[in-house]
């Protein structure tokens, strides 16, 4: 097959904050199917994937885990790579943004943009979503929360560098209008144009000073580069781009043919990234496809909902290729796909075990039973089997011709679907071929032909089985991009060589007289729903046991921390201590402060008066738990405004080395207002 030239495909790099669920894994499998098919078509493919590792979110999670950020992302990047490898993704590059060479190039990119006046220094004040690593204005918030993920945002005010987005907005609008293929599906393009570009772009904050885990701005070290500028640059830096001079490989493969991303990050890839590239004077990627989400039956997968599926767990039950089939087959082109355990069992039994597995097994078994495994083309097409089971001469050539027509049309249809990224439709076309083979068996009834004793009937049976083997061999080769292991097993059992797409234009290329395996293997053994339920229960029990062990370990750590070393502060005299008035109070009512993630507002009775006190303990106590508790309060503390409310004192808490807070409470019955000495 002639080389059709370079083809560069990328996934969004996965955020290295934890184990990827099946929805994250879908993107890697989808990209792999496209990359594999492009290789079959004759393209020189580079498939890049990897991990996005910097940002405040990972710095916080690392601290919570008691790890350095680098150790934390090393662990999670390893887990992501393990899952991608398990799912048999044929990536050429697995990249990591903590790579020193990438960081050096990002520093150069930032400096180049600054030197040419696209980046300037200022101050940022607004709302920041840590999970999304996104900045928002007051008007962009939805019910006070992040418009992308719906989670709480925090007020941020800090010195920052800004990118002049508006400078390139008109140019990007013109590019999108003149390149209708750039953003796919079309609904994503309309969303970006109507919601962001046409209303006008604000300058983008591209540095932070409130955390340190990121690419340092080399000429202003207290700043780190905004994580999205860092992450998006991976598509070029690992391909060989360098502001000081790029490699020949970069010039060969860039611009990327396809950025395959989730629809939730389409804004970053179709607005920010193209504008960064325009400013750098680099070509834009040819296409950005924002694929839909893979949902559970009750909505988007979420660890907090407890409805997360993981590829490795599913593979234990169904096998890797079956999981690949589920995620690729159940995802429409534009709309979200839905996955449930019940649906997986149904698809496994109907599509994989019955339509495909049973077809292959009985074709090979009949070939062994009737002809000792030899597949021989005889050209006999003029016998038909009546409903009564009587074999007679007839015009059955039309049955064979119809099968051949489907076999020869399927590669064309699959290629057309794949060229338009309609992967689920391409799989359906492939399975339509297998279904036609099953129908052909019903039409020709080999078990009836086998009863015939004359040579013509035997030759007809031989031709029927030859036609089936030829058709299945073509279907298996088309299946390889989606289910590579299964395709390989089928071809091996048929003893069939791959012929390539260019050679699928004629029927009858399987060598007549060749033998199939004499020991066919079951590709997919039917599953009983109750057995799958039992396996799921085992998985859940194992998770619960692991979670329990983790909680016990935390409890042990907490016990060890009961006697913890605390940094000594400056010594004080008894007179200094006497300046503090600490009294016993009783919480008579308590409520959460709506504008804060941390604060509870308590009404505390102290002697004959009741004071309003705000405490940052929402993470450890509910308002209901607080009511009735006796606490120690500093009562001569100057009142302070917190979240718009006045706090008239301070409730004392103890903090352990994990940052957990516990109320300090008097032992025994002590009246409200009693003073601590």
Q: What three-state secondary structure class fits 630?
A: strand
Instruction: Report yes or no: 133 and 57 within 8 Å, Cβ to Cβ.
Output: yes
Rounded distance, CA 178 to CA 672, Å?
Answer: 75
Residue 285 has what DSSP assignment? P
Q: pTM for the complete prediction? A: 0.79
Per-residue pLDDT tens digits for 102-157: 999 999 999 999 999 999 999 988 888 888 878 787 878 888 888 877 888 888 88
Rounded distance, CA 434 to CA 410, Å?
Answer: 10
List of residues 6+ apart from 292 with CB closer than 8 A: 263, 331, 332, 333, 334, 335, 336, 337
Supply the pLDDT for residue 1.
65
Rounded distance, CA 243 to CA 110, Å?
Answer: 10
Supply the pLDDT for residue 506.
97
Beta strands at 288-291 and 183-184: parallel, antiparallel or unpaired: parallel
Supply the pLDDT for residue 618.
87
How many beta carbons lie within 10 A of that of residue 668, not counting itself? 5
Instruction: Report yes or no: 314 and 321 within 8 Å, Cβ to Cβ.
Output: no
Residue 123 has what DSSP assignment? E
Per-residue pLDDT tens digits for 447-490: 999 999 899 999 999 999 999 999 999 999 999 999 999 999 99
Task: Determine the length of the chain.
Answer: 677
Supply the pLDDT for residue 544.
75
Rounded distance, CA 668 to CA 61, Å?
Answer: 39
Instruction: Report yes or no: 51 and 80 within 8 Å, Cβ to Cβ.
Output: yes
**pLDDT lower than 50: segments of the chain:** 299-306, 555-567
Q: Can you read off the two tokens belonging to residue 573?
A: 């005299």
Going by C-alpha positions, the residue among 354, 321, 368 that lies closest to residue 469 is 368
Rounded distance, CA 262 to CA 606, Å?
Answer: 55
Supply the pLDDT for residue 387.
54
Supply the pLDDT for residue 564.
43
Supply the pLDDT for residue 389.
55
Residue 332's Cβ-side half-sphere holds a number of Cα atoms within 13 Å equal to 7
Please state whether 45 falls in left (phi above 0), alpha (psi between -120 and 50) or beta.
Answer: beta
List of residues 6+ apart from 504 with CB closer than 8 A: 408, 411, 474, 477
């Amino acid at each position: 097959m002639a080389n059709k030239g370079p083809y560069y495909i990328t996934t969004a790099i996965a955020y290295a904050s934890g184990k990827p669920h099946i929805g994250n894994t879908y993107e890697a499998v989808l990209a792999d199917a496209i990359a594999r098919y492009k290789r079959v078509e004759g393209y020189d493919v580079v498939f890049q994937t990897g991990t996005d590792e910097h940002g405040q979110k990972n710095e916080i999670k690392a601290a919570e885990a008691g790890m350095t950020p680098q150790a934390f992302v090393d662990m999670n990047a390893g887990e992501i790579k393990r899952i991608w490898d398990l799912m048999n993704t044929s990536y050429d590059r697995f990249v990591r943004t903590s790579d020193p060479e990438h960081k050096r190039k990002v520093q150069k990119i930032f400096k180049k943009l600054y030197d040419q006046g696209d980046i300037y220094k200022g101050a940022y004040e607004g709302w920041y979503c840590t999970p999304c690593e996104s900045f928002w204005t007051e008007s962009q918030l939805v019910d006070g929360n992040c418009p992308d993920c719906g989670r709480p945002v925090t007020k941020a005010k800090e010195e920052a560098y800004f990118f002049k987005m508006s400078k390139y907005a008109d140019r990007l609008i013109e590019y999108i209008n003149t390149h209708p293929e750039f953003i796919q599906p079309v609904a994503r393009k309309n969303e970006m144009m109507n919601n962001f570009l046409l209303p006008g772009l604000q300058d983008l904050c591209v540095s932070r000073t409130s955390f340190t885990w990121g690419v340092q701005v080399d000429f202003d070290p207290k700043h780190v580069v905004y994580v999205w500028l860092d992450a998006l640059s991976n598509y070029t830096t690992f391909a060989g781009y360098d502001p000081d001079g790029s490699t020949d490989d970069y010039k060969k493969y860039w611009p990327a043919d396809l950025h395959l991303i989730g629809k939730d990050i389409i804004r970053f890839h179709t607005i920010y990234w193209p504008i960064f590239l325009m400013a750098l004077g680099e070509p834009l990627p040819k296409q950005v496809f924002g694929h839909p989400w893979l949902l559970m039956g009750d909505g988007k997968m979420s660890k907090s909902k407890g409805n997360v599926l993981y590829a490795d767990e599913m593979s234990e039950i169904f096998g890797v290729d079956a999981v690949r089939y589920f995620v690729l087959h159940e995802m429409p082109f534009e709309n979200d796909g839905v996955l449930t355990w019940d649906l997986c069992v149904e698809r496994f039994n109907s599509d994989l075990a019955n339509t495909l597995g049973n077809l292959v097994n009985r074709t090979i078994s009949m070939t062994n039973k009737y002809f000792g495994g030899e597949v021989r083309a005889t050209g006999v097409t003029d016998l038909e089997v009546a409903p009564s089971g009587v074999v007679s001469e007839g015009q059955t050539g039309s049955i064979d011709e119809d099968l051949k027509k489907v076999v020869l049309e399927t590669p064309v249809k699959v290629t057309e679907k794949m060229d338009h990224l309609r992967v689920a439709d391409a799989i359906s076309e492939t399975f339509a071929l297998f279904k036609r083979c099953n129908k052909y068996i019903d039409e020709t009834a080999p078990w009836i032909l086998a009863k015939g004793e004359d040579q013509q009937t035997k030759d007809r049976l031989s031709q029927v089985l030859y036609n089936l083997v030829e058709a299945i061999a073509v279907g298996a080769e088309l299946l390889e991009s989606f289910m590579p292991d299964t395709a390989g097993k089928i071809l091996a059992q048929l003893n069939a060589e791959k012929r390539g797409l260019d050679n699928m234009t004629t029927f009858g290329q399987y060598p007549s007289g060749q033998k199939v395996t004499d020991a066919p293997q079951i590709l997919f053994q039917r599953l009983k729903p109750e057995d799958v339920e039992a396996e799921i229960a085992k998985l859940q029990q194992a998770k619960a046991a692991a979670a329990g062990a983790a909680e016990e370990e935390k409890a042990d750590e907490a016990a060890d921390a009961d006697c913890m070393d605390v940094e000594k502060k400056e010594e004080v005299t008894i007179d200094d201590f006497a300046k503090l008035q600490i009294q016993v109070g009783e919480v008579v009512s308590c409520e959460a402060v709506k504008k804060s993630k941390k604060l509870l507002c308590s009404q505390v009775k102290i002697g004959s008066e009741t004071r309003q006190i705000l405490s940052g303990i929402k993470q450890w106590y509910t308002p209901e738990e607080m009511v009735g508790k006796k606490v120690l309060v500093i009562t001569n503390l100057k009142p302070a405004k917190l979240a718009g409310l006045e706090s008239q004192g301070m409730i004392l808490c103890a903090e352990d080395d994990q940052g957990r807070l516990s109320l300090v409470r008097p032992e025994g019955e002590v009246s409200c207002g009693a003073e601590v000495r």
